[in-house]
Amino acid sequence: MEQFTDFAYLYDELNVNYEKDKITKRIKQLLCQCREVVDLCCGTGDVAISLAKSGFNVIGIDISEDMLNVATEKAMNNAARVLFVCADAKDFQLPSTVDAVYSITDGMNYIMGGDELKKAFLSVNKALKKGGKFIFDLSTKYKYENVLNDKTFTFDFDDAFAVWQNNYNKDTHICEMNITGFVKKGKSLYKRFDETHFQYCFDLETVEQTLEETGFYIENMYSAYDERLFEENDDRVLIEARKK
């Protein structure tokens, strides 16, 4: 089942824990010396649009055409110039290299396993100038085992309702997320959609090794979007790496 189709149009509403202003501020801090940047797995485009309005030249890349439809409409409504491109994070190409690539809010967790992660990192490396920055986050083992596993979340809005069920398999390192939603399409008519999402839990040792193998070194690992350094029981890590 394809991911981020009908769900794309509810993504912003359902992502209730998404601290947009905090995340955007942190990414701007980390990219303060950069001007040409790629938002990889850009989703509905909030951060890309904010960076563009702050003077960055931004390319937003996502595999979901529906997510990009939402992002494009937002950019038009905000008079922001962002080039949105539909491409896979594992094999995207740019016409010229950029100063930085960033990928946030679980984009890298949608890559299934170490071999696929290596392909993505190689694509990022090719997209960057020498010394360019690669910033990305990952949901952690702690989050999958303690926050998401066997948990069901419900969302009830004026024009939509959704149920989100999670199951994490410790053996395969895959979290299966089943989402059923109903979106209002008229006075009393609702359209149902069902999507299944899969995220992969990477151990940090594998991530560090893969970065090294693909021409990067790690500068810092933060606790999500705080300036505090990452600790074992944090539910998200933000990695600041640089191309050798």
CATH class of the 6-140+202-243 domain in this structure: alpha beta
Q: What amino acid occupies position 86? A: C
Chain segment 40-91, per-residue pLDDT in tens: 999 999 999 999 999 999 999 999 998 999 999 999 999 999 999 999 999 9
Long-range pairs of 155-162 with CB within 8 A, sequence gap ≥ 24? 155/13, 155/14, 155/16, 157/13, 158/184, 159/183, 159/184, 160/10, 160/13, 160/184, 161/190, 162/10, 162/14
Calpha distance 17→104 (Å, rounded): 14
SS3 of residue 223 by DSSP: strand
Helix axes 65-77, 46-53, angle to 10 degrees: 30
* From the candidate CATH numbers 3.90.226.10, 2.20.25.110, 2.30.40.10, 3.40.50.10130, the one assigned to the domain spanning 143-200: 2.20.25.110
Query: For residue 208, what are its two tokens?
Result: 């560090």
**pLDDT at residue number 95:** 92
**pLDDT at residue number 72:** 96
What residue spans in the chain does CATH classification 2.20.25.110 cover? 143-200
CB proximity list for 211: less than 8 A, separation 6 or greater: 121, 217, 218, 239, 241
What residue spans in the chain does CATH classification 3.40.50.150 cover? 6-140+202-243
| Residue of 211, 244, 203 lying closest to 122 (CA atoms) | 211
**pLDDT at residue number 15:** 65
Q: Is the pLDDT of residue 96 over 90?
A: yes
